[in-house]
Amino acid sequence: MYNSEDFRPLTPEERASSEIQRPSKTYWADVWSRLKADKLAMLGLFIITVIILFAVFAPVFSRYEYDEMDFNFSNDPPSFTHWFGCDMFGRDLFIRVMYGARISLAVGFIASFISLFIGVIYGGISGFIGGRCDNIMMRIVDVIYSVPAMIYVILLMVVVGPGLKSIFITLGISYWAPMARMVRAEVMRLKNEEFVIAAMITGASPSRILFRHIIPNSMGAVLVTLTFSVPGAIFTEAFLSFVGLGVSAPMASWGVLSSDATEALAIYPWQLFFPAAAISITILAFNFVGDGLRDALDPKLGK
């Protein structure tokens, strides 16, 4: 029934071939491969890249300037010469939306990075030191939380005065509290992990442990918060523009453009459509990337 060949011991080669070789990947490579599998996240990344490219290069190649007025084209509808139409001063809306992208994206990224910087340091120190210091620092965050952030931003804007720089600063120093809370929670969680204890035993200094060992390990959560805070800042800037605290003319963010357009909405609805669509698509793209990133970092929650 069986021949002796069946019962000969396995050769080392046969033994090796029966092992399934699974390439071992680093943590971030693993995250990236999961993110790549997420179509929506990839679409979001693609959209963001396209918008950034447009924001950087479209003004360079355009026939028009963002502040170039021509009253012959006042409130013209979209056409082949003016893709998005013109505003009441006859300024080309396409180029204004592209310039708006520069401003809105700059606000989104710079404000987010400022709040990230403050939040990571504040939350990191608070969580790492713990005890009384943590208590006081978190009490301060609680106070900040008890005022609606938007009111805080508006107050600061009133004090600092409108303008692009004030927006960077104001948003940067207003929105760090959630980041600080999140980083603190991460630090508290990681602080008792073995690799941190190991670093302590080797005699690493507290600041080295915090910034070399703990913070890098909480980068995943920070990155997710960041992808959601960029569109948040873009949103807030649009909101500020709408209540009259945005960047000053003739510069225009997407918020200013939409805000201006609402005045004549009944007659020239397309003037609102293009900047509003730009805001929505950008925020949608960031949301896709953020959702994808969160799932990629925490695969048990994913599909």
Partner 1 sequence: MIKVINMNNDEILRVENLHTSFFTSAGEVKALNGVSFSLKRGEVLGIAGESGSGKSTAMLSIMGLTGEAGRVSADKLEFMGKTLDAENIKSMRGKDIAMIFQDPMTSLNPVLSVGYQLKEALKRHHWEGSIRDRVIDIMAKVGIVPAEERMKQYPHQFSGGQRQRLMIAMSVICSPVLLIADEPTTALDVTVQAQILKLLREIREYSGMSMILITHDLGVIAGEADRVIIMYGGEIMEEGTVQEIFKNPKHPYTLGLMKSLPKPDSKRERLIPIEGQPPDLLNPPEGCPFVKRCQNAMKICLHKKPEVSVLSDTHKYSCWLEVKNNA
Partner 2 sequence: MKIKTYILKRTVSSIITLFIVITITFFMMRAIPGGPFTDAKAIPNFVIEKMNERYGLNDPLYIQYGRYLLNILCFDLGPSYRYEGMTVNELIADSFPVSFIVGGLALLISLVIGIPLGVISALRRGKWQDKTSMIFATLGVTVPSFVLASAFVYIFAWHLGWVTVGFWDGISTAILPAVTLALYPAAFISRLVRSEMLEVLGQDYIRTAYAKGLGRSSVIYIHALKNALIPVITYLGPLTAGILTGSFVIEKVYGVPGLGTFFVTSINNRDYTMIMGVTVFYSAILVSFNMITDICLSFIDPRIKLR
Binding site for partner 2 (CB under 8 A): 142-143, 145-151, 154-156, 158-159, 231, 235, 238-239, 242-245, 255, 258-259, 261-262, 265-266, 269, 272, 276, 279-281, 283-284, 287, 301, 303
Give the tokens for residue 4.
């002796």
Question: Between vectors from CA 66 to CA 63 and to CA 68, what angle results, nearest 5°?
Answer: 75
Give yes or no for residue 6 binding partner 1 (CB under 8 A).
yes
Distance CA 24, CA 100 (A): 44
Q: Report what 8 binds from partner 2, partner 1, none; CB cut-off 5-8 Å by kind.
A: partner 1
Give the tokens for residue 222.
């920070």
Binding mask 15-44 for partner 1 (x = CB under 8 A): x--xxx-x----------------------
Closest CB 91 distance from partner 1, rounded Å = 50
- Which residues touch 93 (CB under 8 Å, ≥6 apart)? 82, 83, 84, 85, 86, 87, 257, 271, 274, 275
Q: Cα–Cα distances in Å, from 237 out to 64, 94, 208, 230, 234?
A: 25, 20, 36, 11, 5
- Say if CB 209 and CB 196 are below 8 A apart: yes
Give the tokens for residue 270.
């397309």
Task: Report the residue number, 10 or 140, with the smaller CB distance to partner 1.
Answer: 10
Q: Report what 242 binds from partner 1, partner 2, none; CB cut-off 5-8 Å by kind.
A: partner 2
Closest CB 226 distance from partner 2, rounded Å = 17
Closest CB 173 distance from partner 2, rounded Å = 12
Choices 8-16, 65-73, 116-124, 185-193; region in contact with partner 1 by CB under 8 A:
8-16
Question: Between vectors from CA 287 to CA 282 and to CA 292, what angle results, nearest 5°?
Answer: 130
Closest CB 14 distance from partner 1, rounded Å = 7
**Using the rule CB under 8 A, which residue among 13, 132, 301, 303 binds partner 1?**
303
Closest CB 184 distance from partner 2, rounded Å = 17
Q: Report what 75 binds from partner 2, partner 1, none; CB cut-off 5-8 Å by kind.
A: none
- Which residues touch 247 (CB under 8 Å, ≥6 apart)? 103, 162, 163, 164, 167, 241, 253, 256
Nearest to 190 by CA among 124, 121, 115, 137: 124
Closest CB 237 distance from partner 1, rounded Å = 38
Task: Report the residue number, 7 or 80, with the smaller CB distance to partner 1.
Answer: 7
- By the criterion CB under 8 A, which residues form the site for partner 1? 1-2, 5-10, 14-15, 18-20, 22, 302-303
